[in-house]
Amino acid sequence: MLRVSIAVAEAIEHNQPVVALESTLISHGLPFPQNLEVATALEAEVRNNGAIPATIGVVGGVPTVGLEAHELERFARGGARKLSRRDLAAAIAQGADGATTVAATMSLAAAAGITVFATGGIGGVHRGADRTWDVSGDLTELARTQVLVVCAGAKAILDLPATLEYLETLGVPVFGLGTTEFPAFYSRSSGLPLPALTDPAEVARIWLAQLRGSAYAAPGGMLLCVPPPAETALDRDYVEAAIVRALARAEVAAIRGPTVTPFLLAAMAEETSGESIATNIALLRNNARTAAVVAVALQHQQ
């Protein structure tokens, strides 16, 4: 069973632009109460740019597309599991609250008929993955599920060149909007080149071609990378030094599996005296705005 809120169901039925939003960044990516403010702000950004927001999560075992305000608060206060695709079945069967990652959000968005989704940074290939095999399920989901993901690249705590290589192997198209480089989440540049687009209408045209071509040539999703806003973006060398310290802490604490990303995000906040959180929030808002603009352009072309 999939519960779709009335507002979202009506928008889908009337072919209005809808933007999916994830809930892991609320429950496991940012501290309370900023996370609740952000959850509400992202929905407002989507609305103010002409689309309907659909924040996705599993509420008491029910996969839900379009969380209500009191549910956003419940997720922000903590206690929800972190659900990637493989965790959905257990959360449903056990009646649990679960915050969905990019992978799980994509699969529920697609099930509801939503094809545009905004997040912060996707999961990817972790540094040291040649030892740990830690590669986010977000990448495999992008290969099989038809959702356009708008992000600020992959989180900089990851191995960015390896993440791009992996996306190429999986056949996932990756573009920069207003940039010729893969953004590094907290910083605007990574030195890794991307094909650049400048116009959201062009993004929509390419995404539509991928959607329509899925039957014969191009199944799966697409990644649109938007650099973090210049005002809050952090210097690359400064971020890199903080990442090295955060990774060392994760190593000492022997963090493994799904807790790695939340641990590193919290450690980054400490290592940058909270600056990483301000950047994270600014880029999330920017991505929500961009996704709404693309969703509107997509609707005009359909």
Interacting residue ranges for ligand PSU, rule: CB under 6 A: 22, 24-25, 28-29, 84, 101-102, 119-121, 123, 136-138, 258, 261, 265, 280
* Residue partners of 85: CB distance under 8 A and separation at least 6: 103, 104, 107, 137, 141
Q: How many CB atoms lie within 10 A of CB 76?
A: 23
200 binds, among ligand PSU, Mn ion, none (CB under 5 to 8 A by kind): none
Phi/psi zone of residue 31: left (φ > 0), alpha (ψ -120 to 50 degrees), beta? beta
CB 185 within 8 A of CB 120: yes
Of 141 and 181, CB closest to ligand PSU: 141
Q: Determine what percent of the chain falls in helix, strand and coil, rounding each to the nearest 5.
A: 50, 15, 30
| Least distance from Mn ion to the Cβ atom of residue 136, Å | 5
The site partner of 28 among ligand PSU, Mn ion, none (C-beta below 5 to 8 Å per kind) is ligand PSU
To ligand PSU, the closest distance from the beta carbon of 105 in angstroms equals 7
Identify the residue whose tokens are 């540049």: 189
Nearer to ligand PSU, 45 or 138 (CB): 138
Minimum distance between the CB of residue 151 and ligand PSU, rounded to whole angstroms? 7
Q: Which residue is nearest to Mn ion (CB)?
A: 134
Q: Which is nearer to ligand PSU, 169 or 302 (CB)?
A: 169
Distances 159 to 12, 130, 163, 262 between C-alpha atoms, Å: 37, 11, 6, 16
- Minimum distance from residue 5 beta carbon to Mn ion (Å): 30
275 by Cβ neighbours in 10 Å (0-12 / 13-18 / 19+) ranks as middle
45 is an interface residue for Mn ion by CB under 5 A: no
The active-site residue, picked from 22, 43, 71, 181, is 22
> Whole-number minimum distance, CB 231 to ligand PSU, in Å?
18
11 or 187, CB closer to ligand PSU?
187
Q: Catalytic: 82?
A: no
Evaluate whether 34 touches 277 at the Cβ level (below 8 Å): yes
Burial class (CB in 10 A: 0-12, 13-18, 19+), 136: buried
Q: Is 159 in the site for Mn ion (CB under 5 A)?
A: no
Beta strands in the chain (DSSP E): 3-4, 18-21, 52-59, 62-65, 81-83, 98-100, 116-118, 148-151, 174-177, 196-197, 222-225
Tell me the CA distances in angstroms from 53 to 63, 72, 76, 136, 295, one per residue in order: 16, 13, 17, 25, 11
By CB under 5 A, the count of residues binding Mn ion is: 1
Closer CB to Mn ion, 52 or 106, in the complex: 106
Q: How far is the CB of 101 from ligand PSU (least distance, A)?
A: 3
17 interface partner picked from ligand PSU, Mn ion, none, CB below 5 to 8 A per type: none
Choose from ligand PSU, Mn ion, none: what does 146 bind? Cβ within 5-8 Å by kind: none
Per-residue mark of binding to Mn ion, 124-153 (x: CB under 5 A): ----------x-------------------
Which partner in Mn ion, ligand PSU, none is near 25 (CB below 5 to 8 A by kind)?
A: ligand PSU
Among 45, 141, 155, 181, the active-site one is 155
Q: Is 22 a catalytic residue?
A: yes
Do the beta carbons of residue 219 and residue 146 sit within 8 Å? Answer: yes
- For 224, the 3-state DSSP assignment is strand
Q: Are 162 and 136 in contact (CB under 8 A)?
A: no
**Interface with Mn ion by CB under 5 A: which residues?**
134
List residues with catalytic annotation: 22, 155
